[in-house]
């Protein structure tokens, strides 16, 4: 940007005098005058929750839900999003608080009240969500927060995300201001809370959105250990001078590109789960395996390569139109999943899709997870060290390898 070399001692003092105000100006440009919101954590709303009445008892009323989340990026302020997007009736929120979480407990004295349009409560129409007012709370990358939501109820249908892979709690009454929940019922689903944003003053602040199915959701990874590949990527990425990047995991187990079932299809939910995320600049798309494996389970034909290509193209076009770059990953091997999920026709379509991705100019970059994760002796199977045991989902080692592959590309151009 700017540099000088002192050639003569006679002018050295003058140059050093000029350098001091310049360096101050440069430091100032590394920060934005206003907060820029970026996504730091997410759990995509999905229909899978409604299928488990033990997780989503009906009716639901007079309960406090506490969820512990890990921030992928820190900032100067926090904003939470509460979702009633799968609800059909108005949802009353009685109170919401945020507390710092450390060593398995809320840090004493750290609980803060969250407001919605300067009120402590809110009403969310069916099919909608609401963002809170900014909460003045400085946070760091990797920090944990406990978010407590009180629901007076009754509620006939709770919006949430089943595969939380970490502890959550529910307790009778309004316990949002209580640091310890001794009588709380432990759980694992993410209820009502769909995203946490942080406000950054960095000159370059952006969000990476991981859109996918159970492989992005982290199915078969270790509970409570944050071993999903977006978790791995979040740990590898570090803030640079004037630049910070958040990562949100918008994976839904059993999700498909073309067909809605356990959550909207990827094509249908990309607006809600990607484009609505603040300062989304990069989309990582890892989808398609369930379009090959789920239909045969129902006695239906696998999705055609033509239909899948059109869906990938549509998402890429929409992303580019909004100024996002799109990184696509090839579809992982799945022969070990066995019939009927695995079929010769499904494998043929997978090979055609992966060849198309590798040679396509539709995407900004292609990460070839197929070749990275395949067994060397049988390329249609996951390598044993990467296989969780079901032939379909990666192990912790497999998720680590995926996160490393993502990082190898993204680390080159974080602040584009």
Q: Which residue stretches of 30-97 are H helix?
A: none
pLDDT level of residue 242 (50, 70, 90 thresholds): confident
Q: What is the pLDDT of residues 294-315, one digit of tens each?
A: 999 999 999 999 999 999 999 9
Within 8 A by CB and 6+ apart from 166, the residues are: 68, 69, 188, 223, 224, 226
- Residue 123's H or E segment, with its range, is strand 122-124
- Give the whole-angstrom CA distance, residue 119 versus residue 1: 47
Percentage with pLDDT > 90 across the chain: 79
pLDDT of residue 1: 36
* Average model confidence (pLDDT) across the chain: 90
Q: CA 130, CA 90: separation in Å to the nearest integer?
A: 12
- If DSSP codes are grouped into helix, strand and coil, which group holds residue 341? coil
DSSP classification of residue 30: T
Confidence of residue 158 (pLDDT cuts 50, 70, 90): confident
Tens-place pLDDT, residues 168-184: 999 999 999 999 998 88
When mean pLDDT is compared across 47-51, 264-268, 345-349, 382-386, the lowest value belongs to: 47-51
- Nearest to 246, CA basis, from 287, 181, 176, 198: 198
The dotted CATH code for 202-410 is 3.40.50.1110
pLDDT-derived band of residue 416, with 50, 70 and 90 as boundaries? low
pLDDT digits (tens, 9 = 90+) for 61-95: 899 999 999 999 999 999 999 999 999 899 999 99
8-37 tens-digit pLDDT:
333 333 333 333 333 333 444 456 568 999
Is the pLDDT at 127 greater than 70? The verdict is yes
pLDDT digits (tens, 9 = 90+) for 349-404: 999 999 999 999 999 999 999 999 999 999 999 999 999 999 999 999 999 999 99
Q: Which long-range contacts (CB under 8 A, 24 or more apart) does 180-189 make?
A: 180/105, 180/106, 181/64, 181/66, 184/66, 187/55, 188/163, 188/164, 188/223, 189/49, 189/55, 189/56, 189/160, 189/161, 189/162, 189/163, 189/164
- 213 Cβ partners below 8 Å, 6+ apart? 251, 252, 253, 254, 255, 256, 286, 287, 289, 290
Q: Where are the domains of the chain?
A: 46-194, 202-410
Q: How far apart are CA 261 and CA 253, in angstroms?
A: 10
Is 343's pLDDT higher than 70? Answer: yes
Q: How far apart are CA 362 and CA 312, in angstroms?
A: 9
pLDDT for residue 7: 30
Q: Does residue 238 register a pLDDT over 60?
A: yes
């Amino acid at each position: 940007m700017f540099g000088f070399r002192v050639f003569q001692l006679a002018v050295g003092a003058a140059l050093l005098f000029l350098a001091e105000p310049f360096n101050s100006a440069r430091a100032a440009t590394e920060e934005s005058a206003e907060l820029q919101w970026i996504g730091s954590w997410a759990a995509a709303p999905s229909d899978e929750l409604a299928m488990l009445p033990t997780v989503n008892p009906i009716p639901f009323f007079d309960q406090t839900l506490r969820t512990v989340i890990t921030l992928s990026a820190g900032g100067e302020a926090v904003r939470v999003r509460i979702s009633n997007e799968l609800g059909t009736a108005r949802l009353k929120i009685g109170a919401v608080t945020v507390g710092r979480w450390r060593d398995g407990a809320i840090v004493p004295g750290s609980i803060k009240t969250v407001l919605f349009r300067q009120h402590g409560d809110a009403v969310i129409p069916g099919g909608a969500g609401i963002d809170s007012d900014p909460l003045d709370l400085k946070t760091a990358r990797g920090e944990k927060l406990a978010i407590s939501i009180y629901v007076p109820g009754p509620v006939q249908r709770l919006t949430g995300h089943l595969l939380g892979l970490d502890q959550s709690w529910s307790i009778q009454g309004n316990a949002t201001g209580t640091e310890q929940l001794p009588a709380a019922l432990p759980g694992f689903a993410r209820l009502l809370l769909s995203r946490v944003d942080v406000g950054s003053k960095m000159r370059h602040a952006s969000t990476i959105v991981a859109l996918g199915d159970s492989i992005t959701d982290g199915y078969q990874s270790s509970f409570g250990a944050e071993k999903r590949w977006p978790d791995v990527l979040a740990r590898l990425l570090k803030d640079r001078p004037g630049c910070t990047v958040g990562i949100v995991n918008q994976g839904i187990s059993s999700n498909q590109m073309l067909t809605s079932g356990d959550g909207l299809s990827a094509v249908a939910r990309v607006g809600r789960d990607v484009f609505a995320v603040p300062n989304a600049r990069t989309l990582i798309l890892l989808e398609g395996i369930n379009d090959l494996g789920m239909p045969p389970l129902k006695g239906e034909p696998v999705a055609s390569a033509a239909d899948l290509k059109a869906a990938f193209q549509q998402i890429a076009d929409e992303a580019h139109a909004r100024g996002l770059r799109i990184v696509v990953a090839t579809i992982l091997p799945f022969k070990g999943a066995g019939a009927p999920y695995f079929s010769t026709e499904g494998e043929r379509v997978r090979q055609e899709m992966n060849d198309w991705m590798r040679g396509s100019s539709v995407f900004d970059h292609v990460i070839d997870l197929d070749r990275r994760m395949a067994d060397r002796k049988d390329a249609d199977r996951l390598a044993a060290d990467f296989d969780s045991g079901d032939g379909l989902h990666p192990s912790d080692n497999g998720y680590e390898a995926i996160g490393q592959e993502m990082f190898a590309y993204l680390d080159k151009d974080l602040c584009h």
